[in-house]
Homo-oligomer: A and B are copies of this chain.
Amino acid sequence: MTKIRKIVLTEDEMPKQWYNLAADIHCPPFMGPDGPVPPEGWEKVFPMNLVEQEYSTQRWIDIPDGIRELLTRWRPAPMHRAYALEEALGTPARIYYKNESLSPAGSHKPNTAVAQAWYNKEFGTKKLTTETGAGQWGSALSFACSLVGIEAKVFMVRISFDQKPFRKLMMQTWGGTCIASPSMETQAGRDILAKFPDTPGSLGIAISEAIEAAVSDPSGETKYSLGSVLNHVMLHQSIIGLEAKKQLEKVGEKTPDVIIGCAGGGSNFAGLAFPFVSDKMHGAEIDIIPVEPYSCPTLTQAPYVYDHGDTAKMTPLLAMHSLGHAFVPPPIHAGGLRYHGMAPLVSKAVQEGLMTPRAIHQLECYEAGLLFAKTEGIIPAPETTHAIAAAIQEAKKAKEEGKEKVILFNFSGHGLMDLVGYDKYLSGQLTDYNLPQSEIEKNLEVLKGYPQP
């Protein structure tokens, strides 16, 4: 057998440093009511060792041994050559994917969860709070906290809490506490419940509760944790792309022609793509494609503005592509891609012409996901199907052009906890959503009077 399908690395070959794109791309600062927010402005929310990373412009940052040991629970992650998918498409392209679905929580999220849990433990944090929508991030953080021995408290959007009981059970199994948001445990939750006792909740409310629960602990030993968007999260995810480079080298491939990842907050895409952005800035010809749902077109249709990271405006202003903090996307099944904003570093890279975002409708994505499951064998998460759909578009284009392109995408997570979406697709119950331009404009009105990045 000469074909290599699964390219593995030993632990010794796992990267010893993270790559920080903030060394090469400069984002406008966080803005508060009194101007740029200094690092100290975050001290009640995050531990200062992570805040330091958030502001760092150092290109390479050492991965502490303690975090390397946590990562080796499942890393290095294999890269696969998608021979069966290539054959089904009859494409001359060589398609590779980085498999982030093999972590115990089933996605790339634990890459930053274990790093954040470890830095918090070092700092003296006893408890981490966070919010979760569909449940991926809450599971990953519960997993990470159990490994380092600190508490995890997850505010899960009420409607998901009721509809997705298995995610809650995952968190409990790892010893995390998961409560439905809005809850009676915070002022923010009680205020909402007083007004709307039957509210299904929202990510915005859950963020407000999680931050309040952290900053209101008088001991100072409770901190808050965020699973995407911020620079330190992108940093921790860069291990994906750094491993991928070594793996491509092992099979004799040079720089890929196309790099693809789905983008909600941006972290799995950034993790794969950022180490290659630096190559592109030095002249390499690479199409770098963040893929988003047509129904939440942050990079493809929204402006680059200053906006809050959350609906409830608890965070400072971030310079990013945003549909407006009050935007509520249609109920597509890729819950992890239903975010109004985008990581500032991804947004800035798009502004600088280093990336070419693409939006794809959900029916095309499910079709791509099914083809992938039946050829390569792994059932993808609904979010991941967006990356697969774009990879298939590119492979078909390579066929039309008769070019032997190298396409690399991030397989961010498996879909074993999301099979209801496939069932709905197969039984014809899903639909695509076209967002009218007028609705986008209406949602952007909340940004009037905000500073410009």
Q: Is A166 an interface residue (CB 8 A)?
A: yes
- Which segment, of A48-56, A168-176, A321-329, A347-355, faces chain B? A168-176
- Min C-beta distance of A2 to chain B, whole Å: 10
Q: Is A282 an interface residue (CB 8 A)?
A: no
Q: Is A147 an interface residue (CB 8 A)?
A: yes
Given contacts A173-B419, A422-B173, contact A73 B376 (CB under 8 A): yes
Q: Which residues of B contact A374 (CB under 8 A)?
A: 146-147, 174-175
Q: Which residues of B contact A415 (CB under 8 A)?
A: 173
Inter-chain CA distance A9–B7, complex, in Å, is 10
Q: Which residues of B contact A370 (CB under 8 A)?
A: 173
Q: Which residues of B contact A74 (CB under 8 A)?
A: 6, 377
Interface flags, A74-93, vs B, CB<8A=1, else 0: 11000010011000000000
Chain B CB within 10 Å, residue with most, of A75, A175, A377, A426 = A377
Q: Is A65 an interface residue (CB 8 A)?
A: yes
Q: Is A420 an interface residue (CB 8 A)?
A: yes
Are B377 and A73 neighbours in the complex by a CB distance under 8 Å? yes
Q: Is A246 an interface residue (CB 8 A)?
A: no
Are B172 and A423 neighbours in the complex by a CB distance under 8 Å? yes
Q: Is A72 an interface residue (CB 8 A)?
A: yes
Are B5 and A73 neighbours in the complex by a CB distance under 8 Å? yes
Q: Is A254 an interface residue (CB 8 A)?
A: no
Q: Is A94 an interface residue (CB 8 A)?
A: no
Interface flags, A357-372, vs B, CB<8A=1, else 0: 0000000000000100
Q: Is A194 an interface residue (CB 8 A)?
A: no
Inter-chain CA distance A378–B3, complex, in Å, is 31
Q: Is A406 an interface residue (CB 8 A)?
A: no
Inter-chain CA distance A75–B65, complex, in Å, is 28
Inter-chain CA distance A238–B374, complex, in Å, is 26
Inter-chain CA distance A75–B78, complex, in Å, is 11
Given contacts A3-B69, A5-B11, A11-B5, contact A174 B104 (CB under 8 A): no
Q: Pick the residue among B172, B173, B373 that contacts A173 (CB under 8 A).
A: B373
Interface flags, A1-25, vs B, CB<8A=1, else 0: 1011110111100000000000000
- Min C-beta distance of A140 to chain B, whole Å: 11
Q: Is A227 an interface residue (CB 8 A)?
A: no
Given contacts A170-B379, A376-B73, A423-B169, contact A68 B1 (CB under 8 A): yes
Q: Which residues of B contact A172 (CB under 8 A)?
A: 422-423, 426
Are B422 and A377 neighbours in the complex by a CB distance under 8 Å? no
Q: Is A155 an interface residue (CB 8 A)?
A: no
Are A5 and B104 neighbours in the complex by a CB distance under 8 Å? no
Are B378 and A104 neighbours in the complex by a CB distance under 8 Å? yes
Q: Is A416 an interface residue (CB 8 A)?
A: yes
Q: Is A118 an interface residue (CB 8 A)?
A: no
Q: Is A266 an interface residue (CB 8 A)?
A: no
Q: Which residues of B contact A312 (CB under 8 A)?
A: none
**Which chain A residues (384-425) contact chain B, with CB distance < 8 Å?**
414-417, 419-420, 422-423
Q: Is A143 an interface residue (CB 8 A)?
A: yes
Inter-chain CA distance A448–B102, complex, in Å, is 50
Inter-chain CA distance A373–B174, complex, in Å, is 6
Q: Pick the residue among B8, B175, B416 that contacts A10 (CB under 8 A).
A: B8
Q: Which residues of B contact A102 (CB under 8 A)?
A: 102
Are A170 and B416 neighbours in the complex by a CB distance under 8 Å? yes
Q: Is A182 an interface residue (CB 8 A)?
A: no
Are A72 and B11 neighbours in the complex by a CB distance under 8 Å? no
Q: Pick the residue among B83, B173, B175, B373 that contacts A146 (CB under 8 A).
A: B373
Known: A1-B69, A3-B69, A174-B373. 18 other contacts (CB 8 A): A1-B72, A4-B11, A5-B69, A8-B10, A73-B376, A73-B378, A104-B377, A104-B378, A147-B374, A147-B375, A169-B419, A169-B422, A170-B379, A173-B370, A173-B415, A173-B419, A174-B379, A175-B374
Q: Which A positions have Cβ atoms within 8 angstroms of B?
A: 1, 3-6, 8-11, 65, 68-69, 72-75, 80, 83-84, 102, 104, 106, 143, 146-147, 166, 169-170, 172-175, 370, 373-379, 414-417, 419-420, 422-423, 426
Closest 3 CB pairs of A and B: A169-B419, A5-B72, A146-B374
